[in-house]
Amino acid sequence: MVVGASSAKLMRLRAGIGQAGGCGARVGKGVASAGATTRARDSAPGVGFAALTSALHSGSSGSRLGSLLRKARPASSSTALRAASSASSVDSVSERMAKLKEANTCALIPFIVAGDPDLETTALALEALSEGGADVIELGVPYSDPLADGPTIQAAATRALEEKHTTLDDVLAMLKKTSPKLKSPVVLFTYYNPILKKGIDAFCAMAKDAGAAGLLVPDLPLEETDAIRQGCEKAGLENVLLVTPTTPKERMSTIANASQGFVYLVSLAGVTGTRTSVAGNVEGLLKDLQSSTDKSVAVGFGVSSAEQAQLIKSWGAEGVIVGSALVKQLGESGSPAEGLANMKALLAELRNAL
C-alpha cells in the first residue's frame, strides 16, 4: 500500500516517541511480532506510555510532537452518522451516553480483549456484559505492542495472538455474529497499525458492518485523527478521543470538541492496570474537562473495584471504564466457564455501585 504524507509523518513521530520512552510502536505494512508484548511488559511498562501520553496529548513545545501542532477541525454531526443511528435497534454511543446523562445515571463501560481465552468465550462475554448492565462495551483488538496497556491486558493480547492466533478478521467476524444479540453499543479499541494496514476507509466500513458503533485509537495524537474521524463519519462510527493528566486545559477543550460519543479521561500518566486507589487529582481534572464540554466524560485506567467506581461517580463523572480487572477474571481463571462466572460477578458489583 502507498502511505500518504500524513501517515509517513506519523511513522517518523512514532520512531521519536519510541526512542524517548523506550517502548516504541512499530508502524508499517506488517504487524510486529507477538513476542514484543512480553519484552514491553518486562521493561518497565509504565515508562513507555507515560512518555507517550505526554508527547501525544500535552502539546508540549519541547516534544517532537509540538512542531506538528495545528488546529484540529471540530467533529461534525454527519448525516451518515445520524442515519446509521436511527436505523439501528441499538443506540449510538452518543445517544446512549446522552440518555444516561439526562437520567443522572453513570455509565458502566467494561473492556475485554477479543480472543482471550478464545473467541467463542469472547462472544459469550459480550452477551453477558450486555445482559449484565454494561451501557457501552469496549472490545480490544489484540495487538503485539499495546503501548497503553499494562501487564494484565498485555498478557491477554499475547495469549490471543500466540496461543489462539487471533486476527483482526477473526475478531470482526465474531462481532458480526454476536452484535445482533447485544443491547449495548460496542466501541472497538485498536492501535493504528491494523487500521493502516487495512486502509482507513476500508477498516471503518468493516468495523461498522461487523456491528461496531465506535472506534478508539489510543496511539494517535489529535493532529493525526482527521482521516480517522472522516473515515468514521463515512461509515457511521463515532471516534472517541482521550485526555490525560498532562493535557493542558486549552488542549482539553480542543480534544473534547473533536471527540465523539464521549470523552475518555485517562486517570493517570501510565498504563492500564488495577490500582489500590484512584489518584486524588482526578476529581480536579474531571471538573476542568467538564467545564470545557457538554459531552459526557468517562474515567478509565486503573479503575478496578466497585468502591473506586462509586468514588469516581461521586465526583460527577458520566461514565466509569473498567478493563484490567475484568480481563483478569475472564482470561486467568481455571476455565472459560469459570472466567465468565467471575467476570459476571465483578460486573454485578460494579453495576450495583453505580
- Asked whether residue 24 carries a pLDDT value surpassing 90, the answer given is no
pLDDT of residue 30 exceeding 60, the answer is: no
d(CA 326, CA 148): 17
**149 is annotated as an active-site residue:** yes
277 — pLDDT class (breaks 50, 70, 90): low
Mean pLDDT of 26-34: 36
Least confident of 78-87, 107-116, 178-187, 327-336: 78-87
As a whole-number percent, the residues of the chain with pLDDT over 90 amount to 67
Mean pLDDT of the region 227-233: 96
Please provide the size of the chain in residues.
354
pTM of the model: 0.77
Dist CA 82 CA 238 (whole Å)? 11
* pLDDT tens digits along 309-328: 999 999 999 999 999 999 99
Q: Which residue has the higher pLDDT, 25 or 337?
A: 337
pLDDT (0 to 100) of residue 175: 98
Q: What percent of the chain has pLDDT over 70?
A: 72
Q: What is the pLDDT of residue 251?
A: 95
* Side-chain-facing half-sphere of 182: CA atoms under 13 Å: 33
H-only helix segments in the chain: 5-21, 36-42, 45-57, 79-87, 93-102, 119-131, 151-158, 168-178, 192-198, 200-210, 226-235, 249-258, 282-290, 306-314, 324-331, 336-353
Confidence band for 34, pLDDT divided at 50, 70 and 90: very low
Report domain extents, the chain: 93-239+304-353
Residue 267: band (very low, low, confident or very high) from pLDDT cuts 50, 70, 90: confident
pLDDT at 6 over 80: no
Residue among 138, 170, 223, 318 flagged as catalytic: 138
What is the distance between the alpha carbons of residues 17 and 151, in angstroms, rounded to a whole number? 20
pLDDT digits (tens, 9 = 90+) for 142-165: 999 888 788 999 999 999 999 999
Quick check: 192 and 27 in contact, CB under 8 A? yes
Q: Which of 118, 149, 233, 238 is catalytic?
A: 149
Average pLDDT for 225-237: 97
Residues 309 and 320: beta-carbon distance below 8 Å: yes
Q: Which fold has domain 93-239+304-353?
A: TIM Barrel (3.20.20)
User: pLDDT tens across 244-265, in order?
Assistant: 999 999 999 999 999 999 999 9
Q: Contact, 111 vs 148, CB < 8 A? A: no
The stretch 299-313 carries a mean pLDDT of 93
Q: List, in order, residues 6 or more apart from 84 with CB less than 8 Å away.
A: 92, 208, 235, 236
pLDDT in tens, 85-98: 334 579 999 999 99
Lowest mean pLDDT among 54-58, 245-249, 342-346: 54-58
Q: How many CB atoms lie within 10 A of CB 42?
A: 10
How far is it between the farthest Cα atoms of the chain? 51
Answer yes or no: 42 catalytic.
Answer: no
Whole-number Å distance between alpha carbons of 214 and 186:
6
Report the candidate in 271, 321, 324, 322 with the shortest Cα–Cα distance to residue 149. Answer: 271
Determine the distance from the C-alpha atom of residue 9 to the mean position of all C-alpha atoms in its chain, rounded to a whole number. 23
**Burial (CB count within 10 angstroms: exposed 0-12, middle 13-18, buried 19+), residue 69:** middle
Residues 136-147 pLDDT 10s:
999 999 999 888
Give residue 203's pLDDT band: very low, low, confident or very high (50, 70, 90): very high
What pLDDT score does 51 carry?
Answer: 43
> Out of 4-18, 170-184, 254-268, which region has the weakest mean confidence (pLDDT)?
4-18
The pLDDT assigned to 274 comes to: 52
